[in-house]
Structures are given as structure tokens and as C-alpha cells.
Amino acid sequence: MRLTLGFSPCPNDTFIFDAMVNKKIDTEGLSFELTIADVEKLNKLAFQHSLDITKLSYYAYAYVMQDYILLDAGSALGNKCGPLLISKPENQKSKVEDLVIAIPGKYTTANFLLSLAFPRAINKVEMLFSDIENAILQNKTDAGLIIHENRFTYQDKGLVNIIDLGEYWEAQTGLPIPLGGIVIKRSIPSEISKKVNRILRKSVEYAIANPASSQEYVKQYAQEMSENVRNQHIQLYVNTYSITLGKIGRNAIKTLFEWAQRNKLIAKTIEDVFLSS
């Protein structure tokens, strides 16, 4: 059986999917047609129901939970890994509400957190996450909301941190921040969905046990990144929650949806969001 699969070119995604898509593990008769794209594009493809399985932002999932269900494996969720709001030094002390802010997409968890912390910050410009640092440096925006590997590079460009929105979330909730997860269409038979989750978990476990195995695949999609930044990226975003969400991970995700609903950022959610074991 062939399924369409979307994930981002970021090192944590290529790291965890390498063994699965390159047949380094038994895929139990399944094969995958890949779409590799920025997470906001994947969010929008999910809104169009274009992919059978896809990575997407947890905030975006709130808009498609009627059509997709969350897998237990493959999530980017953890502590001290949230998005950062950055600027040039001269804007660091400005009121966030007065700044023009570059964001990596309306439906990203990063933008959800920014809206939660600063509901009056509405002067936002959407752009590809990798363009945000340069937009600030070129004075196209006053500040920017960075995700992924940019948290390892912004200081080298003379930019400064205004607020760590991951730390804000953790201080408010005591929970890890759910950034992105893997979903599968509810229309796919349950036994196939469980098989996909089983294969993905094995792929994550294989990657963690054999870190050198995925190096070339990761490098292929992150050509502008140094090996050190790639490794830092993987170490930050791939952890035990990537193998299984567990009770704490599920609680964090439910809390995100509850907060989003309470703050009128999403409509009413449903209870059945996790794939049963």
C-alpha cells in the first residue's frame, strides 16, 4: 500500500523519517510518496486534505482534527525548545504591540504562543521561517518570531532575544511545549494507521540508536547548515516525546487546545484526538 507523506526539510524531521522512507527498517508492506515542505505549507496542505500522513503544527491541528488523528510517535515537543521573538538591539526594549513582527505562518504554534502572550500584537507579516533573520537585518520588520535552527544562529548576526515563548508557556503551564506532530487521515483504516505509527516509532528509535546512519539524508535537505547546527537542532527537538507522547505529552497537547479555545483563538475542539493503541 502506498501512502502520501509530508514532512519538513528540518533536521529533526529528516532524522526521524530517514529509516522509514529509505527502507532501513521493515515498513510492513507500506511505501510512501513524499512531499517535503516548510511546516506552514504542510499546515495548508492538511487544510486541503491533500496528504494521507503529514507533519503539522499543533495549533494548525485544531483546524483539521475532524479529518486527521494524531499519531503517538514523531512529535516535536519538549522543554526549552520554544520559539523566540528577536530583534535588533535598539528594538529590544520596545513595546511588542508597537512592533512589526515577521512570523513563520499564521497557523504555526509559534504564532499561537505570540498571540497568547501579546494579544494586541497584530502588526504581523508572514514569511518563510528562514527569511526572518534577514528581514529584521534589512529593516523590513522590527522583530521576528524564529523557529527551528534559527535559534542557534541569530546571535551571530547581532540580533537579540526579546522573549522566549517556550519559557513563557512552561512558566504558565508547567508543561513541555507541543510544537508539531504527525497526523493521519481518519478515513484510513485503523489497522493501517496503527501500522504507520508502529513503523514511525521504529524509525525514530533506529535514528536515535544509529545517529550516523541519517547524516547524509539530513545534510541533503539542510545544505546551508553546519554539521554542528544540524546536530544541535536534532538534539533539541528529538527526544523521548518523539518516541511516544506519554501522559505528560498528551496533557500538554490537550492544554494547548484548551488555552487556544479559552482565548478564542480556535473554535470548539473534540475529545478523540489521539490514535488508540
What contacts 184, CB < 8 A, 6 or more positions away? 52, 53, 68, 69, 71, 193, 196, 197, 275
- Judge whether 275 is annotated as a binding position: no
- Judge whether 57 is annotated as a binding position: yes
Backbone angles phi, psi at 32, to 5 degrees: -135, 135
Our answer to whether residue 233 is catalytic in this structure is no
Q: How far is it, in rounded angstroms, from Cα 139 to Cα 257?
A: 34
- Judge whether 46 is annotated as a binding position: no
- Judge whether 115 is annotated as a binding position: no
Q: How far is it, in rounded angstroms, from Cα 53 to Cα 59?
A: 17
Which of these is catalytic: 148, 202, 230, 233?
148
Q: How far is it, in rounded angstroms, from Cα 169 to Cα 179?
A: 11
- Judge whether 75 is annotated as a binding position: no
| Mode of pairing for the β-strands spanning 84-87 and 143-146 | antiparallel
Burial code (b: 16+ CB inside 10 Å, e: under 16) for 144-158 equals: bbbbbbbbbebeeee
Extract the annotated binding site: 55-57, 109-110
Instruction: Specify binding-site residues for substrate.
Output: 55-57, 109-110
Q: List residues with catalytic annotation.
A: 148
